[in-house]
Amino acid sequence: AASAAARLDLDGNPIAPLTICMIGAGGFIGSHLCEKLMAETAHVVYAVDVYCDKIRHLVDPAPPYLHGRISFHRLNIKNDSRLEGLIKMADLTINLAAICTPADYNTRPLDTIYSNFIDALPVVKYCSENNKRLIHFSTCEVYGKTIGSFLPTDHPLRKEPEFYVLKEDESPCIFGPIVKQRWSYACAKQLIERLIFAEGAENGLEFTIVRPFNWIGPRMDFIPGVDGPSEGVPRVLACFSNNLLRREPLKLVDGGQSQRTFVYIKDAIEAVHLMIENPARANGQIFNVGNPNNEVTVRQLAEMMTEVYANVSGEPPLDEPMIDVSSKQFYGEGYDDSDKRIPDMTIINKQLGWNPKTPLKDLLETTLTYQHKTYKEAIKRQMSQASAS
Ligand code: NAD
Ligand code: UDP
């Protein structure tokens, strides 16, 4: 384990060991953050979640070298009175808990709104009342659509950065109409951001808001029918991985023309680590965390993943590696999409000196190698059983 005494923050001050209440610690981001904190710091983590499959190697049971450093608390923050006690005992609360898969936003809008707004309220309240610092996970979706998306497709202004680059303190939040229930998530996240910001302004809450821009890597979501429901629809990385593992064509929703910037989870976790240990630089801030250099359309992502997976698995790609599907078929009524997501990096770079490093090709290689190793045998077994019966 790292020796805490030797470690300094960005201003040259020694970093004191913290006790951190991490809510949603059993999820994709939480699992990587727990690993990072256990490997490189002396902080203590209360890992709160309804399940712990992704952090089992850290908590079930905790290995001897982590004795006293991490404990798992299986609880649902919707209705568990133990939450307040954990927040009170910690120096810092990090809230990652959310329903955050687009397939849910238009099909389970009530659960989505409750999870992202109502269930987060007590967390904000306990932090504010007990003068505890809060790092809250929001989303790049609070920006919604770009200004440029309302111009005609070939309009020259669409190429001007003012019409698409997303800035924490300047860009508006542009959502579709209420019938487009896709925006239930973005809207709930926006309102909790405004509430946290207001707690900071009126009651002095020390907060940091994180807006992740498509963080991806190992352990993201689930593979339907293996470690998640067979009818479940995860985010795009897991959807495409699932198709590749099963040798099915990748499904491009509405032509795959939407653009995304993908950042490697391990780069992004570095940014969160800096926020945790540099409160003077992170408090009161909203941070975009993404990689503006890794922009692709969803179609280009599908092409890259197909090529990388062929190298990783040694299986040649299908003759028709992709098919088009309408968003109505794929997600149902009320789906809508963000057109383009380029994060402005000025604020995080100035406050924390952070920059993303890993190119898309490299992170896809690492991630698809993990997917292949983790899931290929299970899928083979499943598919041979299905064809035998
Ligand atoms: P995830 O679904 O893997 O993790 C969320 C975790 O929260 C899950 O383990 C879940 O069990 C837990 N949780 C949900 N409701 C809970 C409750 N009521 N009580 C206890 N635990 C509960 O998702 P993730 O990708 O790790 O995302 C974490 C946060 O980051 C979310 O707030 C999400 O909105 C935000 N975010 C992530 C991305 C990304 O690129 N991964 C992008 C935008 C926003
Ligand atoms: N998408 C797709 N095929 C899939 C899954 C997703 O074309 O099998 C598209 C989806 O419509 C969106 C993009 O991929 O344009 C990213 O989707 P994701 O679920 O990762 O989340 P988002 O970035 O929209 O929050």
Q: What percent of the chain has pLDDT over 70?
A: 99
Q: What percent of the chain has pLDDT over 90?
A: 96
* 217, amino acid identity: G
CA distances from 203 to 21, 124, 125, 271 (A): 21, 11, 11, 27
DSSP string, 225-277: TTTB-TT----HHHHHHHHHHTT-PEEEEGGG--EEE-EEHHHHHHHHHHHHH
Does residue 119 line the site of ligand 1, with CB under 6 A? Answer: yes
Residue 3 pLDDT class (50, 70, 90 cuts) = low
pLDDT digits (tens, 9 = 90+) for 209-229: 999 999 999 999 999 999 999
The mean of the pLDDT values for the chain is 97
Is 27 a residue whose pLDDT tops 90? yes
* 153, amino acid identity: T
E-strand ranges in 107-214 read 133-137, 165-166, 207-212
Residue 28 pLDDT class (50, 70, 90 cuts) = very high
Predicted local confidence at residue 5, as pLDDT: 54
Nearest C-alpha to atom 37 of ligand 1 is from which residue?
A: 212
* Ligand sitting nearest the alpha carbon of 116: 1
Does residue 28 line the site of ligand 1, with CB under 6 A? Answer: yes
The ipTM of this complex is 0.99
Predicted local confidence at residue 219, as pLDDT: 98
Predicted local confidence at residue 387, as pLDDT: 86
Atom of ligand 2 at shortest range from CA of 335? 11
Is 4 a residue whose pLDDT tops 70? no
CA distances from 207 to 101, 129, 198, 199 (A): 25, 13, 10, 9
Question: Distance between CA atoms of 46 and 61, rounded to whole angstroms?
Answer: 14
What residue ranges define each of the domains in the chain, with the CATH number in brackets? Answer: 98-377 (3.40.50.720)
